[in-house]
Structure 1
Amino acid sequence: MGKTQEYNPSKIEKKIQDFWEKNKSFEVEADSEKEKFYCLSMFPYPSGELHMGHVRNYTIGDVISRFQRMKGKNVLQPMGWDAFGLPAENAAIENNVSPKEWTETNIEKMKIQLKSLGFSYDWRREFKTCDEDYFKWEQWLFCELYKKNLVIREEAEVNWDPVDKTVLANEQVIDGKGWRSGAEVEKKTISQWALKIEDYADELLTELNNLTGWPEQVKLMQKNWIGKSEGMEFAFETSTKDTLKVFTTRPDTIMGVTFIALSLSHPITKSFIEEDEDLKNWVLENSKGSTSEINSALAAKEGFKLNAHAYHPITKQKIEIWVGNYVLQYGFGALMGVPAHDQRDYDFAKKYNIEIKQVIQDPEKKVNISKEAYIEKGVIFNSDFLDGLFSDEVLDKLEEFGKRKTNFRLRNWGVSRQRSWGAPIPMMINDADPGDVLPFSELKDADLKNDSISLNNKIYTKDSDTFDTFVESSWYFARFASYKSQDKILDDEANYWLPVDQYIGGIEHAILHLLYSRFFCKAMNDLNLLETREPFTNLLCQGMVLKDGSKMSKSKGNVVNPKDLIEEFGSDAVRMFSMFAAPPNQSLEWSNEGLKGSFKFLNKLWNLTQIIKTQKIKDSDENEIDEKLEVKLNQTIKKVSDDFDRRQSFNTAISSIMELINFIPSIFLEEITTSQRSKTLRNIVNKTLLMLYPISPHICHELWDQLNEDKIEDNKWPNFDKSYLESSEFDFVVQVNGKVRGSIKVGLEDEKENIINSAKKNENVKKFISGKEVLKVIFIEKKLINFVVK
């Protein structure tokens, strides 16, 4: 036999990638005759370098895509670039280039890196969100939403970064400082455009129940973010002749109100600022920090008492009015303070010596509020006509003084950003009257070429703000599915592909991107642009890639460069280890030794193929070794199929494939040069290549070529032969206190816990263990179970 060819990833991987590109292997079109499968991984920001988090995320998507393709489905897997954002502006300043040039250079670099990993993308559908061909449709969609009254211009309290001079989302404020600049964030009230996501709050909440393919953790996060609450709205008249409205989820505590707290930007607060310099300075000082609920809850409670009072809606007693730094500007921007039954109000009242009036008591024990508030429901007392009622019985009694109301924590989505590198907001604003606006869709092309126009003796100027970059990522999934459409935002192909069957991305996007995408999908359905109301049927949130127990970062010096690893070990080994080291939804601890182990296994598979590819296949009767190998092969196919499909447990699938190859006895390999059994071994290797192809496609493609006449891409996922699985069952003896009480059929691959549970369900065994305490379970592999009971 001649010299065997050695495994050289750098040699074969580029060759296989060129083959896929030349043969357009992953380009797909809508086909009503085939079942579709749309797999999408969250597209990247073009930072210029892929990191291991990217590699893991996109490998998971590619494994799922290739598997579904082998199942005979019409699979779409696209890729593009989330290209707008502040980092490009800052990098452009630092490097003295335009944001566009910096972004496009980075995209070219990252595209080369993605292609080196062999991902099966339909690159024809690629776009970057900074392309006018993309964001012009976003602008058009915004104008359509405006026509449907789903866009408003409103005064809103925002997080303002005084260094970057832009609005920050709550999530971008860390310990009261801007995430990038490190500057103390200020609260600032500005006029901005907002999308009325509140109009969809109830549907966004209730339809979470239909998302059975989503992680429960993500659905719970969205549920809490939407924050539906039932309660009552009360109106407090004031000495200033204003009416203060408040919403409470605890109307049973209405008689315990001893103060009203207003937000820093409440209209009454603003009216007092004009005449009170001390209040003005206090508000200015307390405007630092985030507008988020979490930061407000953690901040020290500070207050400023106004020279005014409110009147209790029932008793008409005077109630103090305070401005509180912990009161957020959403809803009514006012809270009714019930110190005895709310810990936050309790702390505030203690600090400022405000009355604490208890009106709820525990029906079974005495409540002591000398140190903390009593926040549970109970029996009402000290409340006039409500005395003796339980907390949940007051609503009917209070309807004369307030009205029932459903409230949501979710606020309209402010989308205005003070950045140059972003999609321009398609509105012109009347210089003299900011409430008078013109959407671009109502203007002629010639008008849009100018920053200002004169119309009906009015001067309109283009809005200088740009969209929050989350707007671009809230509908991109639909544009991928309609890439040919030039004269409209989407064509009929979008309805063929959508919804996305499998979406993959980090759980950090649970309450922003994923919620915004659901909102956009519903709004686009209402505009008759899409048939579906939910964008993603199944969601997989991959875990982080860690090194030395921490998330990889340059500052920690624990970054692993994928480019270096691919050059040394090949992309197939990198892909394999990233799928093998942990379940996809759990964090992965990077290990160079583990990567070497994956490379070693691929070498073993390569060398095995070199041995058998020169052997002539001869028919022969199966002997005992052949039988065992066929049983193991079919057990493996069954398990790996389930791991890939239902369980998405790719790490255990790889483990099973490794076990299969390691199961081949060395004597079998030694005899192959003279035996007639190469057919069995060749069958095992071929089936192994098919199962491993979604994970390490290059080597599987190459080895398939060496063994077969056709291409691996033309083959379906292997099926298992049930007859071999049946022969793999055996009897397992079940004893109780050392005496045989029955037997059960057990498969070779059945796990210990399942075997024990099956034994307990045996009818005869149940007679001897029912009602008794199992002290011990003696388990002897492939022989017997003995339950020790008393």
Structure 2
Amino acid sequence: MPLLQSRLIGCAAARRALSNPSLHNSIRRPIIAHHAPAATLSRRCYAIDLTSIDDKWRKKWKESKETVKPSDRLTDSKDNHYVLPMFPYPSGTLHLGHLRVYSIADVVARFRSLKGDKVMLPMGWDAFGLPAENAAIERNVAPEKWTTSNMAKMKEQLELMNGSWDWNRELSTCDPGFYKHTQKLFLMLHERGLAYQAEAEVNWDPVDKTVLANEQVDSNGCSWRSGVKVEKRNLKQWFFRISEFREALLEELEALAKENAWPERVLAQQKNWLGKSTGASVKFPVLAMGHDIRAAIEVFTTRPDTLFGVQYVALAASHPIVAKLAASDPELQAFIDTIPGLPADSKVGYLLPHLRAINPLAYHEETPDATKVSLPVYVAPYVLGDYGEGAVMGVPGHDLRDNAFWKEHHYDAPVRQVLSASEDESTTAMENEPFVEHGIMSEHSGSFKGKHSAAAGEEIIKLLEKAELAKPVEKWRLRDWLISRQRYWGTPIPIIHCDTCGSVPVPDEQLPVKLPDVDWSETRSGSPLESSAEFVNTTCPKCNSAARRDTDTMDTFVDSSWYYARFADPHNQDQPFSPEAGKTLPVDTYIGGIEHAILHLLYARFIFKFLASTDLLPQYTEETYKSAEPFKRLITQGMVHGKTYIDPDNGRFLKPDEVDLTDPNKPKVVASGRSANIAYEKMSKSKYNGVDPSEFISKYGADATRAHMLFQAPVGDVLNWDEGKITGVTRWLQRLHDQITAIAAEPCEKNTSARDYLAAKHGRIGSASAKELAQWDAEAGIWRDVQRTIASVTASYDEVYSLNTVVSDLMILTNTLADNTTASPIVKREAAQALITMMAPITPAFAEECWALLHPSSPSIFESTSFPTTDASLAELVRPRVQPCAVQINGKVRGVVNIPPPPAELAGDELRDWMVKEILQTEEGAARFSGGQYDLRAAKRAIPVRGGKTINFVLK
């Protein structure tokens, strides 16, 4: 029988409903299946109502939670397990991506709970941010009102997912009770010198009118949110000194890589963002004609071996030399003004007419003449002012970007290559194309010719170091975290600016600094907080003079950098969390999208390391706090893609009413009658491929939706959402419910375990009849499959990424039960209990319903039992009485016979002789292998393998 074949008999409407989603909704809603006599199962006609089962058990769970007060805190017991999905932004609607991540989180939490752990699975809201403020401007409604309404809607949607959220720990980052402690965190950092204000060139979003961190600007120089081209401005901004922790942030990536605790892709992205590079700072003296410029141009390079090949020097627009020259050069200033509008890969440049640079190797006697020629100096947009020294040495022969720039400005000038892949220089790159690898120094490298470039680079720096023209240095890509935002809907920065006292922290007793009411009917630019005189004007906490509050708010990533810790103690009014609650940290399993690999996760790691240096996390010491990590294990789920219909004539995305789905497998364009193209793409309104999880759940039930979601793809893979495929899951649940109903109706000796029953029965096998042997085979087969499934499913739950195999394994075990109806009720009932318990994390309401059928007076399955463990004590007793053995002659299979499994103690010649004897005792073996061309007794050699499941005979 096929894996998912329906066992419903006698009711065409019910069968059609389970195989056709549209019919399922159109027929009369069936009642929930209850106990039914086994004899009537083959004739009854009904389908289980999964949505009603969901409703029933959600109500019971809610009632039980109301009678048992949830613990406010966990202890630091080793049996605690903190599961946390990344909390959502309250946009007002959950999408299938939310459903996927929250289903995974709930499955992990329920599994750990059944394993005996005390689990924490909280939920909250990442509620600050620009979307709410933009909505306030568009709709003339306060961000708080809009956000609160959205949170209420999304909470209702979340509760439909059959999750086991601890709503007692619910928090919202826009609640003053939360952001009071975000402000405390700021002040703790400020007190340690890790929060500071500085003038800086910043990324300015002219649409959202706010400053963006470097991480919020894409590779094309556009805002991550508005998509507009970012401008550069100089403003006084607040920073967190994340650079203080950069070594620890880098070093601990190795610890997170152990046992695949964090995905390799995330670790690689973080390492790249930290960007530690070891190289040298090299000074290029300058010749300035008509200008008083005496300072050398300092360049950071990781390839000093290419110094002989430098053909130009390029400066960032913000370089001090450029600023000085621009003051008297209108053309240069005009060029600088165009830079913000240029693409990131622009090759344009401005040649500084009165400036030349000297290669520091020019002062070395053995340097070739070509290297001694003075170098042109350009202002180039591709040079970053905040990396290195804001200057690069251009080496067209050994750098792709430099090569492209050189060809743009010196298309007819040769490219100089100073190293090659081999000593004879025959394997160097094509002419005028860069050779970017390490290699052997060429004849253009003077006395360094023939040396390996890595060793030569070190010697070159030592040579220049003696002349005070170079020194070894270490550089990082990471910059301090800019947290200032000139917007309203965020945590106010708790600083007061006094003309006498300077920047003064708001006293602890005056926290939180609350957001004022703002009239959103007015249009304004800049920070909305500046328009509130009541908010801005205050007194200095030190001298009581008139003063002004800081009108910036914090980057919302500050909220998400520590919210996981607040969940441990969400009602503490005096501290972010108590040291006692802090012992429950870090998070054991953190689940979320790969898109947060850099920003959120890096900031959370930094803040947790800082918190570990305080009294809030007493489990860390002065020696260990930098090794602290907020998330022991990180699970990154793949995206959910929706089925997208595309017009083949013009590539236009088709709306639902523009597609004829009479035959779902052959969709047609209504207007033209042509077959529509189908693709799976990221869900979006513009592609008309979005799916509302609430509608799907109301149609099929939350448990079926969860199982379908997890069954379709491994957790880390992209999931191509196909509604039609859910029928396989609904059939499985229907079929299993039928089996549980039948098993529950059978009389059963409740005081005898399956293990004791099988052990006792094995002793009577020698005198058993053929019918009794058939029953034994069925019972032993069920026991073996249950043990195999427990081992496989437990491993999959632990591994998380292969939750899809949990569903498939449970479907196979369901088939085993269905195919062995002659087994004892004792064995079937115990197998059914194990199956139901194993599926409970994925389909909790359905499992509760089935558990109640087997145990009508028992409480919830999550309170009554624990996750099954394997029992190897009967392994030898329940081994199959016979197993297939493939008989090979000279390497080719010539037949398959059923023989007993060989005794474990047999090996070598004894095993061979035993197998030959058993094969020839079978009817087929005697007929095919006792004489003629395949006479086994004439074999020169026999090689048994795979525990007696294969034997190869070598004949002459």
Asked whether the 8 Å contact 2:790–2:869 carries over to 1, the reply is yes
Distance 1:454 1:13, change over 3 A: closer
- The answer to whether residue 825 in structure 2 is matched with residue 678 in structure 1 is yes
Q: Tell me whether 1:8 sits opposite 2:49 in the alignment.
A: yes
Code of the residue aligned with 2:551 in structure 1: it is S
**Equivalent residue for 2:697?**
566
Give the aligned length.
749
| Residue of structure 1 equivalent to 2:251 | 206
Distance 1:430 1:552, change over 3 A: same
Match of 2:437 in 1: 376
1:230 aligned residue = 278
| Aligned residue among 423, 429, 450 for 2:491 | 423
Q: Percent identity?
A: 38
Match of 1:598 in 2: 729
Alignment partner of 1:165 out of 199, 209, 213 = 209
Equivalent residue in structure 2 for 1:258, among 311, 314, 334: 311
Equivalent residue number for residue 772 of structure 1: none
Structure 1 residues 158, 364: closer, same or farther in 2, change over 3 A?
farther
Equivalent residue for 1:649?
Answer: 802
Secondary structure in structure 1 of the residue aligned to 2:474: strand
Structure 2 counterpart of 1:133, from 177, 181, 187: 177
How far did 1:582 drift?
0.8
SS in structure 1 at match of 2:804: helix
**Separation (CA, whole Å) in 1 of partners of 2:439 and 2:120:** 57
- Pick one of 872, 886, 891 that aligns with 1:738: 891
Aligned to 2:346: 299
How far the C-alpha of 1:89 sits from its partner, in A, is: 1.0
Please report how far the alpha carbon of residue 304 of structure 1 lies from its aligned counterpart in structure 2 after TM superposition: 4.3
Mean CA deviation greater in 373-382 or 722-731: 722-731
Q: Does 1:187 align with 2:262?
A: no
Q: Determine helix, strand or coil for the equivalent of 1:145.
A: helix
Change (3 A) 1:100 1:307: farther
The whole-number CA distance in structure 2 between the counterparts of 1:306 and 1:481 is: 63
Q: Cα offset for 1:60?
A: 0.5
Paired with 1:428 and 1:319, the residues of 2 have a C-alpha distance of: 51
Residue equivalent to 2:326? 273
Structure 1 unaligned spans of 5+: 290-294, 749-757, 765-776
Kindly tell me: are residues 447 and 119 of structure 1, through their superposed partners in 2, closer, same or farther at Cα, counting changes over 3 Å? closer
Report the 3-state secondary structure (helix = DSSP H, G, I; strand = E; otherwise coil) of the residue aligned with 1:558: coil
Superposed CA offset, 1:177-235 (max 9, x none): 44544433323333322222222222211211101211111111111221221111123
Aligned to 2:536: 451
What code does the residue aligned with 2:689 have?
N
Deviates more, 1:3-12 or 1:201-210: 3-12
Deviates more, 1:211-220 or 1:266-275: 266-275
Shift of 1:116: 1.1
**Worse-matched range after superposition: 197-206 or 213-222:** 197-206
Alpha-carbon offset, residue 423 of structure 1: 1.0
- Residues 27 and 591 of structure 1, relative CA distance in 2, 3 Å threshold: farther
Alignment check: 8 A CA contact 2:180 2:512 kept: no
Q: Say which SS state the counterpart of residue 299 (structure 1) adopts.
A: coil
Match of 1:580 among 711, 724, 740: 711
| Aligned with 1:710 (options 817, 835, 858) | 858
Q: Secondary structure at the match of 1:538?
A: strand
Amino acid at match of 2:425: K
Of stretches 84-93 and 519-528 in structure 1, the one that deviates more from structure 2 is 519-528
Q: Distance in 2 between matches of 1:144 and 1:444?
A: 15
Q: CA deviation at 1:77?
A: 0.8
Residue of structure 2 in register with 1:84 after alignment:
128
Secondary structure of the corresponding residue to residue 178 of structure 2: helix
Shift of residue 311, structure 1, vs aligned partner: 3.9
Residues 746 and 468 (structure 1), Cα distance of their counterparts in 2 relative to 1, 3 Å cut: farther
Structure with greater Cα Rg: 2
The alpha-carbon deviation at position 349 of structure 1 amounts to: 2.0
Alignment-derived partner of residue 119 in structure 1: 163
Give the match for residue 661 of structure 2.
none
* 1:716 aligned partner, one-letter code: S
Alignment of 1:624 with 2:770, yes or no, is no
| Structure 1 contact 177–185 (Cα < 8 Å) conserved | yes
Would you say the 8 A contact 1:81–1:128 is kept in 2? yes
Q: 1:658: which partner in 2?
A: 811
1:553 alignment partner, one of 676, 681, 684: 684
AA of the residue aligned to 1:220: A
Partner in structure 1 of residue 454 of structure 2? 392
CA 734–371 in structure 1, closer or farther in 2 if over 3 Å, else same: farther
Sort the Cα spacing of 1:306 and 1:696 in 2 relative to 1 into closer, same or farther, 3 A. Answer: farther
Structure 1 vs Structure 2 CA RMSD: 3.5
Counterpart residue type for residue 215 of structure 1 = P
Q: Does 1:332 align with 2:389?
A: yes
Q: CA deviation at 1:273?
A: 2.5
Q: 1:306–1:323: 8 Å Cα contact kept in structure 2?
A: no
Cα contact 1:118–1:698 (8 A) shared by 2:
yes
Residue of structure 1 in register with 2:594 after alignment: 507
Shift of 1:458: 7.8
Change (3 A) 1:647 1:22: closer
| Contact in 2 for aligned 1:634/1:725 (Cα 8 Å) | no
Structure 1 pair 6/303, CA: closer, same or farther in 2 (3 Å)?
Answer: same
Change (3 A) 1:229 1:173: closer
2:94 corresponds to 1:50: yes
**Structure-2 change in CA distance of 1:656 and 1:417 (3 Å):** same
For the pair 1:27 / 2:70, whether they are aligned, the reply is yes
Q: For each residue in 1:381-427, what CA deviation from the matched residue of structure 2 results, as whole angstroms up to 9, or x when unmatched?
A: 43455455432223233332311112112222211122111111222
Counterpart residue identity of residue 295, structure 2: D
- For the pair 1:342 / 2:396, whether they are aligned, the reply is no
Residues 418-441 of structure 1: CA distance to partner in whole angstroms, max 9, x if unpaired? 2111111222345799xx422324
Q: Please name the residue that 2:836 is paired with.
A: 689
Give the AA of the match of 1:560: V
The residue matched to 1:339 in structure 2 has which SS?
Answer: coil
Aligned to 1:774: none
Q: What do the CA deviations read for 1:345-392 (whole angstroms, capped 9, x no partner)?
A: 222222222785433344242446742222222333434554554322
Asked if 2 retains the 8 angstrom alpha-carbon contact of 1:173 and 1:185, the reply is: no
CA contact (8 A) 1:615 1:678 kept: yes
Q: Distance in 2 between matches of 1:160 and 1:778?
A: 74
Query: Using the alignment, how far apart are the partners of 1:505 and 1:219 within structure 2?
Result: 15
CA distance in 1, matches of 2:448, 2:119: 63
> In the alignment, is the contact (CA less than 8 A) between 2:396 and 2:404 conserved in 1?
yes
Indicate which of 80, 93, 110 corresponds to 1:36.
80
- C-alpha contact (below 8 Å) 1:264/1:323 kept by paired residues: yes
Change (3 A) 1:457 1:706: closer
Closer/same/farther in 2, CA of residues 237 and 191 from structure 1, 3 Å limit: farther
Distance 2:954 2:234 in 1: 72
The answer on whether the counterparts of 1:26 and 1:122 sit within 8 Å (CA) in structure 2 is no
CA distance in 1, matches of 2:54, 2:262: 35
Residue 522 of structure 2: aligned partner:
none
- Residue in structure 2 matched with residue 769 of structure 1 by the alignment: none
Structure-2 change in CA distance of 1:204 and 1:32 (3 Å): closer
Structure 2 residue 474 is the aligned partner of structure 1 residue 406: yes
Distance 2:827 2:539 in 1: 83
CA distance in 2 between partners of 1:160 and 1:687 (Å)? 59
Unaligned stretches of 5+ residues in structure 2? 1-35, 364-371, 515-533, 644-679, 762-774, 902-906, 914-942
Match of 1:784 in 2: 950
Moved more, 465-474 or 687-696: 465-474
SS in structure 2 opposite 1:126? strand
Change (3 A) 1:561 1:139: same
Change (3 A) 1:130 1:691: same
Give the match for residue 471 of structure 1.
558
Shifted more, 243-252 versus 112-121: the winner is 243-252
Q: Provide TM-score, normalisation by structure 2.
A: 0.73
Q: What is the CA-CA distance between 1:244 and the residue it aligns to?
A: 2.8
Question: For residues 570-613 of structure 1, what are the alpha-carbon distances to aligned partners after superposition, in whole Å with 9 as ceiling and x for unaligned?
Answer: 10001111111111111111111222221221122222222232
For 1:360, give the aligned amino acid.
L
- Counterpart of 1:737, as a letter, is N
Residue matched to 1:360: 419
Q: For the residues of structure 2 that align with 1:521 and 1:168, how far apart are their CA atoms? A: 23
CA contact (8 A) 2:780 2:879 kept: no
In structure 2, do the counterparts of structure 1 residues 397 and 378 end up closer, same or farther at CA, with 3 Å as the change threshold?
farther
Conserved? CA contact 1:194–1:414, under 8 Å = yes
